[in-house]
Amino acid sequence: MSYKHILVMTDFSDFSKKAVEQAAWMAKASGCALTVLHVAHDRSQFQVYITDEQYRSIKSKIDNEIEEKFANMENEIPVLKDMDWTSLIRRGVPYIEGLYETEKGEYDLLVIGSHGQSGLKRFTFGTTAGKILRHCPISVLITRI
């Protein structure tokens, strides 16, 4: 199958780095576009307990950390150096925002690691990968380390 645009989700864990690497090799081989998505988990009730200024400061620090991780991604995944790719940041619940992005974009494949930062061995129930697999409107490739 020939792909036109691959979306890969990352939380910058080892599992998701493997997913990004796999997606990059697939995109390079098929000559298609690659978008790497990170969802900053939004703690919506957090703003109730802190001031707007404190929230903006924390959000800015989180955004800077994410941008730094994206900037280092080519060093950690060398295949990315040899191709054009796009980074994308969304805010919210990772599986929901991942599904929204698949519906919004013109992607034909979503790649995601089997486990995220939590490293839980539960794949089918409760994890981002499991929820996306059950509800995604496009093909999904789940990678393992």
| Tens-level pLDDT at each residue, the chain (145 residues) | 689 999 999 999 988 999 999 999 999 999 999 999 999 986 666 767 888 898 889 889 999 999 999 999 999 999 999 899 999 999 989 999 999 999 998 999 999 998 655 544 444 445 888 899 999 999 999 998 7
Using alpha carbons only, give the angle 49, 50, 52 rounded to the nearest 5 degrees: 135
**Rounded distance between C-alpha atoms, residue 69 and residue 77, angstroms:** 12
Q: Report domain extents, the chain.
A: 5-143
CATH topology of domain 5-143: Rossmann fold (3.40.50)
Task: Please state whether beta strands 139-143 and 86-92 pair in parallel, antiparallel, or not at all (unpaired).
Answer: unpaired
pLDDT of residue 20: 97
